[in-house]
Structure 1
């Protein structure tokens, strides 16, 4: 084992907190190799290390839950090729590893718009979740991506709105809400989709539609209130 990797693994083990791990498990974080290290501690360590792609790749392979949270924080997006990302997504076994990897690293890599759509179509629960989380990341951070480029993602939301698996349905809902709230140019189409889902005979689709519509409507009301106040 590389000296830097050995020292980092030793540090993680020294930070293990059984109480934190038990609390995390209650929130659905039941990954193998869970040490119970908090996110602020991991972020501080990542800042101390800086970008180190080789170390990130090696760290991921240790299998520790926190290693797979830390690795994307120090990985270099320029080195994020398909082989690496497909390998990582296949290892996702917890919603937080999925979300942290997507939001902190994968969305910054080349090919994310196509990758998001491809992963949404995968049957694996966490790969499909990753696809929809990437859509959220793009809606929030891809400032140069035109609003109309998000219309095909609405078709994916419609297509998978009946996937009742908890970690998928929440991500589908999240994607619909983030597109509507951050991409005003396609907000009318998002609202049409919420109404379509609410009218569905499928209970998962109805939940997604109702929850998304409530959140989007609140966003619109707040925007209008702010506009009226400024006016």
Structure 2
């Protein structure tokens, strides 16, 4: 298939089209950003996003795209699945395949859209696999931004979970824990104070990873930019 796929295209047609777009140079760039390129074709998200809009959403097809194992097909699966049809069982199944922060973060967006964060965040956080644990905190970060009607208490309830895993030194976990803490703190003035208090507590920790997370979060949460924005919430 050489023409661009559309809403009626099946997974095989879409994957065949993706194979015409890849490039080794892009793969090299992805590797420099810590993206797992073992099954990558070398297509940027800037090209995949418009393609996702073009093919539209299809739950069954998304499952087939995911099953291919190809990086770009899996990203399209996260972009084009139907959130209302995504179950916790599916999320757990996909989590077994997580092998790259990029895939994790986009899957976490989908799981958030599906309303699965309440059910899965703590479960994923207690999973010792690096990318599954990252997914938990990516969902927290997503929730802090997108759950605009949720009570602040729902977000603040995740602070103990953040504190519990702030000593995990693995790169993709500690960055997600930090991300979650910062996003909660930037949500509004009511969330800012408890998040900053936790950040400052971590700064005083004897643990090196906790100190890094605390310092980085406190730096942003005390920045002039955040101070100017929060009173407008």
Q: TM-score, normalised by structure 2?
A: 0.91
Distance 1:61 1:198, change over 3 A: same
Q: In the alignment, does 2:225 pair up with 1:222?
A: yes
Q: In the alignment, does 2:47 pair up with 1:44?
A: no
Alpha-carbon distance in structure 1 between the residues aligned to 2:141 and 2:229: 24
Q: 1:186 offset after TM fit, Å?
A: 2.4
Deviations 1:35-74 (A, max 9, x none): 1101011111111111111110001001101111110111
Q: In the alignment, is the contact (CA less than 8 A) between 1:136 and 1:179 conserved in 2? A: yes
Q: 1:185 offset after TM fit, Å?
A: 1.4
Q: 1:93 offset after TM fit, Å?
A: 0.3
Alpha-carbon distance in structure 2 between the residues aligned to 1:147 and 1:5: 40
Q: Could you tell me which residue of structure 2 aligns to residue 171 of structure 1?
A: 176
Distance 1:48 1:225, change over 3 A: closer
Please show how residues 17-36 of structure 1 align to structure 2 within 5 Å: 17-36=23-42
TM superposition outliers: structure 1 runs of 4+ over 3 Å: 223-228
Alpha-carbon distance in structure 2 between the residues aligned to 1:112 and 1:183: 20
Q: In the alignment, does 2:215 pair up with 1:195?
A: no
Q: TM-score, normalised by structure 1?
A: 0.92
Please show how residues 95-174 of structure 1 align to structure 2 within 5 Å: 95-103=101-109, 105-174=110-179
Question: Aligned to 1:86, which of 82, 92, 98?
Answer: 92
Q: 1:187 offset after TM fit, Å?
A: 1.7
Q: 1:125 offset after TM fit, Å?
A: 0.3
Alpha-carbon distance in structure 1 between the residues aligned to 2:66 and 2:123: 23
- How many equivalent residue pairs? 225
Q: In the alignment, is the contact (CA less than 8 A) between 1:147 and 1:184 conserved in 2? A: no
Question: Aligned to 1:185, which of 181, 190, 204?
Answer: 190
Alpha-carbon distance in structure 2 between the residues aligned to 1:72 and 1:6: 17
Distance 1:214 1:12, change over 3 A: same
Which structure is higher in helix share? 1
CA-based RMSD: 1.9
Q: Which runs of 5+ in 1 are unaligned?
A: none
Q: Which runs of 5+ in 2 are unaligned?
A: 1-8
Q: In the alignment, is the contact (CA less than 8 A) between 1:33 and 1:64 conserved in 2? A: yes
Alpha-carbon distance in structure 2 between the residues aligned to 1:153 and 1:183: 16
Q: 1:223 offset after TM fit, Å?
A: 5.0
Q: In the alignment, is the contact (CA less than 8 A) between 2:22 and 2:41 conserved in 1? A: yes
